[in-house]
Amino acid sequence: MKEARTVLVTGGSRGIGLASAKLFADAGHRVAVTSRNPEAIDDRIFSVACDQTDSDAVDLAFTAIEAELGAVQVLVANAGITRDQLLLRMSDDDFTEVVNTNLNGAYRVARRAARPMLRARWGRLIFVSSVVGLLGSAGQVNYAASKAGLIGMARSMARELGSRNITANVVAPGPVATEMLASLTEEQRTAITNQVPLGRVAQPQEIAEIINFLASESGAYITGAVIPVDGGLGMGH
């Protein structure tokens, strides 16, 4: 992006979201992040509370951001949760909570962001999915379903909004050095790394660079795409 834009990164207080927010701020953009428990993370970044399972809370968060920074022009829908469990042990709540946060929540924030984008005839919608949404993963039926759903949703938005110069794309990271990965045992982390052809996990900054590219003018002719950033784990799927 050559001119300064207003960027919102959901789930922006840590990991991929925080790395993305800082990269946008480094480039001179007006940046807001949402989380359930906002905290001061950077003087350049506006933090606001938002429970994206609640449409009213989403609207309040956007209203606060619009008052502080202006209408959101770039949305990075990154917020997500896990409730890993084997299929026969997974409760209905385990499934619905993950889908409601990861998929329905992304829908809520994208719908709210799209209104001013349509009026301005310019916008970028970027959804952070996962290689799990493409390949599946034992013990993550709920998470895989939510992340796969983002792809169909983004591609439908790309078709619906493209005539107004609004793009919608998906980034599908593989294993990333975040708190989620750090919570696993060393044996589990080693098993994951051994599946990656490049033999390592990604750093959050590496995912943030692709997100930043999709928001830039260089990415203006890309829409409806799913970009894997997974060290070869999914081999393009």
Distance linking the first and last C-alpha atoms of the chain: 28
* Per-residue pLDDT at 121: 98
* Per-residue pLDDT at 188: 82
What tokens appear for 121 in the block? 């005839």
* Per-residue pLDDT at 75: 98
User: Which one from 143, 150, 161, 223 is the annotated catalytic residue?
Assistant: 143
Strand 74-77's sheet: what is its strand order? 45-49, 30-35, 6-10, 74-77, 123-128, 166-173, 226-229
* Per-residue pLDDT at 84: 92
The residues spanned by each domain of the chain are 6-174+204-225
* Per-residue pLDDT at 192: 87
Backbone torsions φ then ψ of 8, nearest 5 degrees: -115, 125
* Per-residue pLDDT at 39: 76
Active site residue 143: yes
Query: CB neighbours of 48 closer than 8 A, spacing ≥ 6?
Result: 32, 33, 34, 38, 61, 64, 65
* Per-residue pLDDT at 221: 98
* Per-residue pLDDT at 37: 78
* Per-residue pLDDT at 204: 97
CATH class (in words) of the domain with range 6-174+204-225 = alpha beta
Angle between helices 105-120 and 55-69 (to 10 degrees): 40
Instruction: Return d(Cα 103, Cα 98) in angstroms, integer.
Output: 8
In the chain, which stretches have pLDDT less than 70?
1, 237
* Per-residue pLDDT at 81: 92
Q: What is the pTM of this model?
A: 0.95
